[in-house]
Amino acid sequence: MRLRTKLVILATVCATLVLTLLTRNLTMGNKQVDSSFERRYAATDPQFPRAMGAVLSPALIAGNRVEELLNGEQIFPAMLGSIKSAQQSITLETYIYWSGTIGAEFTDSLAERAKAGVKVNVLLDWVGGQLDEALLDRMRAAGIEIQRYNRPHWHNLGRMNNRTHRKLLVVDGKTGFIGGVGIADTWRGSAQDSEHWRDTHFKVSGPAVRQIQSAFIDNWLQSTGNVLHGEAYLPDLDAQGSASAQVFTSAPGGGAESMQLMYLMSITAAGRSIDLSASYFIPDNVAVDAIVAALKRGVKVRILLPGPYMDMAVVRRASRAEWGPLLSAGAEIYEYQPTMFHCKVMVVDRVWTSVGSANFDTRSFSINDEANLNVYDAEFSRRQVNIFEQDLKLSQRITFEDWDNRPLLDKSLDFAASLLSSQL
């Protein structure tokens, strides 16, 4: 066989192998929900939280207190203060943990508690956990157990595409934090300029904290093969408030459709209002149809999205490509103007609120590991609507005319970006 022929065969084999690995890497998770939902009850009907508990699992549990924390100036002191008070255990799972001043503060606090005998378990995403070796070594030297979620191997590059996007912190099994904040300097302060995030995180006390811990334990088990249990991680939990709540998860290979189901069922149950803050909003046809159906039955829909300051311009373009049917049906869409915007909060009929790590896009619905806290409580929902409306004052409304009259080049780029939406 001639050398040239051999080289062609070798190149073909190599190209096939690369294409196969790339295809596996870009493979979606579980099949998404692709059918419409029939509206059978309102969000205020007792059947609604019962159904959400049965479909999403676990059931909503009473006796919780949930406090909202606005921006890094409130979020980081609360998290660090809780870490410094730990006596038994600390579990931390996060997508973003970067070197920098706040990363060093977390590292020092975690290390100090580990040296004092507290069991500290840290689960970092393989892609997002960009800590330098000095900080990692400092934690390991203190006795902290650190694991990387879905570290890829050559034969399974698809693991890079399945990331833990969860942001979970549990201290002594009694105090939990959940939301969308990353441990990075861009979250520091009060969303004071275009380089810093406007974000909301949540502190939880009461029985629902065990569900946050369960989400961490599940991914820790997948990563290490070890089960965390016992009084240090799972103590008795008394009622701390009046809110009913649940923490549910989604992940490829098991329950990947849960996040999409939660959004669709919530939208379908809406009778009066939907207020949605979304840092990444790329609705598919099923979601668009559900929102349009809500608008047609008289539901007021307000959607608050990032504006000119965004870390991924292609996402903003892919999002805008889908706005036409929503705007023409009467949805109010706003873009936050002062800073980057990372909030992920949905309030339905001012009684049902969902917060957490999930974005309103295909990646969160089918590829990432996500965790959300759902709260069924009118007072909590009222506070979130008040915050939403404060953010609206700093936002610009986009009308259908604004959207329809944007330049042809923008329309073309938006359409092109939408073709990549499954991987954004």
Catalytic positions, written as ranges: 165, 167, 172, 342, 344, 349
Task: Take residue 226 and report the two structure tokens written for it.
Answer: 């070890």
* Residue 386 phi, psi dihedral angles, 5° rounding: -60, -45
The span from the first CA to the last CA of the chain, in angstroms, equals 45
Euclidean distance between CA atoms 350 and 390, whole angstroms: 16
Q: Which residue has the tokens 């007792």?
A: 46
SS3 298: coil
- Other beta carbons within 10 Å of 55: 13
Task: Take residue 155 and report the two structure tokens written for it.
Answer: 């034969």
Task: Take residue 309 and report the two structure tokens written for it.
Answer: 């300051």
Strands, E, within 104-181: which ranges?
A: 119-125, 145-149, 168-171, 175-179
* Strand partners of residue 145: 121
Euclidean distance between CA atoms 338 and 391, whole angstroms: 10
Q: Which residue has the tokens 């999403």?
A: 56
Alpha-carbon distances of 49 from 42, 53, 217, 277, 377, rounded to whole Å: 10, 6, 25, 21, 11
Q: Calculate the CA 274 to chain-centre distance.
A: 19
Euclidean distance between CA atoms 30 and 366, whole angstroms: 6
Q: Are 358 and 53 in contact (CB under 8 A)?
A: no
Task: Take residue 42 and report the two structure tokens written for it.
Answer: 């309102």
Among 301, 308, 300, 302, residue whose Cα is nearest residue 336: 308
**DSSP assigned state of 336:** E
Q: Are 354 and 276 in contact (CB under 8 A)?
A: no
Task: Take residue 229 and report the two structure tokens written for it.
Answer: 């249990």
Q: Are 318 and 420 in contact (CB under 8 A)?
A: yes
